[in-house]
Amino acid sequence: MTVRSVVLGCGSYLPRQILTNAELATRVDTSDEWIVQRTGIRQRHIAAEGEFTSHLAINAARAALADAGLDAQAIDLIVLATSTPDNTFPATAVAVQHGLGINHGAAFDLQAVCSGFVFALATADNFLRTGAYKRALVIGAETFSRILDWNDRGTCVLFGDGAGAVVLEAQDQPGKSGDRGVLTTHLRSDGRHKSKLYVDGGPSSTQTVGHLRMEGREVFKHAVGMITDVIVDAFNATGLSAEDINWFVPHQANKRIIDASAHKLHIAPQKVVLTVDRHGNTSAASIPLALSVAVRDGRIKRGDLVLLEAMGGGFTWGSAVLRW
């Protein structure tokens, strides 16, 4: 027998306010046509004044717990991926823990920008498989609208706010590729690319929050190669191939990057879950938001093989394969 981290439920939350491309075109020199053609994005959600990352995360966590049919007290580990915490410290995960009425176990944040959810999933999976914890909430939650330079058309049109979560439980499985749960995770980073996508502020450097800065074309240039490499790692580790995958749920940064990655890996277009059109790039929240959409609309079902990937600031990148 092998211990696996099995998904019991997933959920998400999007702030009520929607910002369309047409509205953005009244603020900066851009157009709906340019944004759709270059990114696939049509709209994004924006957190209300006073609505924090922790609030989005708590709503997503509650939805995931309801989907799992679990009380919050069953959770003994919370790993929250975010680059837009409520405060410099303590961790936003602690606010989420408190909001859910939990005061046992551990809760901490994880910072890997857009790859945050894959890094958080891998972290929780390792803790569950060692027996250290029994049930984990893995959350991706962001309010990127708060760190955007709304005068920079090269970045402000790309991002949005939101949160998604999954509940994982350590369960004994036969130890075969037919097992439910997380089958493999692969994480990578390379700090040589640090200045291509970063925030120009922070407590230790400027004592300000700062704004997101990105050399979009440079990030784009590396994205497809890094994504496909780390997916090949996942295939090699499991003996699975693109044909075995039922659903490809990539980080939602740009439709062109997603299409090119799927094409290079020979993943059929109908297996690709796309939400970038409605959500924009929600960084660490994008994968659990997309998972939640595909579970709710009936595409992802129990027993399906799901491939996740993400790439972002750092650079960081990673992949995961799980059987739902």
**Distance, CA of 182 to CA of 48 (rounded, Å):** 35
Candidates 26, 86, 88, 89; CA nearest to 58 is 86
Q: Of 193, 211, 251, 279, which is the active-site residue?
A: 251
Which range in 135-143, 183-191, 216-224, 293-301 contacts ligand UT7 by CB under 6 A?
A: 216-224
Give 65 or 157: the residue with its C-beta nearer to ligand UT7: 157
Angle between helices 53-68 and 92-99 (to 10 degrees): 50
Q: Which SS3 state, helix, strand or coil, does residue 303 take? A: coil
147 lies in the binding site for ligand UT7 (CB under 6 A)? no
Strands (E), the chain: 2-13, 17-20, 43-46, 77-81, 106-110, 135-143, 161-173, 181-189, 197-199, 212-214, 247-250, 305-312, 316-323
Considering only 312, 314, 319, 320, the residue that binds ligand UT7 (CB under 6 A) is: 312
Distance from chain centroid for Cα 149: 22
**Distance, CA of 321 to CA of 309 (rounded, Å):** 9
User: With contacts defined by CB under 6 A, how many residues of the chain interact with ligand UT7?
Assistant: 18
**Distance, CA of 278 to CA of 160 (rounded, Å):** 10
Which range in 65-73, 86-94, 149-157, 199-207 contacts ligand UT7 by CB under 6 A?
A: 149-157
Burial 1-21 (b: 16+ CB within 10 A, else e): eebbbbbbbbbbbbbeeebeb
Candidates 142, 91, 136, 90; CA nearest to 116 is 142
219 lies in the binding site for ligand UT7 (CB under 6 A)? yes
* 10 is a catalytic site residue: no
* 279 is a catalytic site residue: no
- Inter-residue contact 164 to 284 (CB < 8 Å): no
253 lies in the binding site for ligand UT7 (CB under 6 A)? yes
Considering only 3, 17, 18, 30, the residue that binds ligand UT7 (CB under 6 A) is: 30
257 lies in the binding site for ligand UT7 (CB under 6 A)? yes
Considering only 70, 216, 237, 259, the residue that binds ligand UT7 (CB under 6 A) is: 216
Tokens at residue 127, please?
A: 């803790």
**Distance, CA of 282 to CA of 289 (rounded, Å):** 9
- CB closest to ligand UT7, residue no: 216
153 lies in the binding site for ligand UT7 (CB under 6 A)? yes
Q: Of 114, 156, 186, 279, which is the active-site residue?
A: 114
Considering only 34, 70, 149, 304, the residue that binds ligand UT7 (CB under 6 A) is: 34
User: Shortest Cβ distance from residue 286 to ligand UT7 (Å)?
Assistant: 8
User: Shortest Cβ distance from residue 201 to ligand UT7 (Å)?
Assistant: 18
* 251 is a catalytic site residue: yes
Site for ligand UT7 in 79-118 (CB under 6 A): 114
Residues 6+ apart with CB under 8 A from 49: none
User: Shortest Cβ distance from residue 44 to ligand UT7 (Å)?
Assistant: 13
User: Shortest Cβ distance from residue 220 to ligand UT7 (Å)?
Assistant: 4
38 lies in the binding site for ligand UT7 (CB under 6 A)? yes
Q: Which residues are catalytic?
A: 114, 251, 281
Q: Which residues bind ligand UT7 (CB under 6 A)?
A: 30, 34, 38-39, 114, 153-154, 157, 216-217, 219-220, 223, 253-254, 257, 281, 312
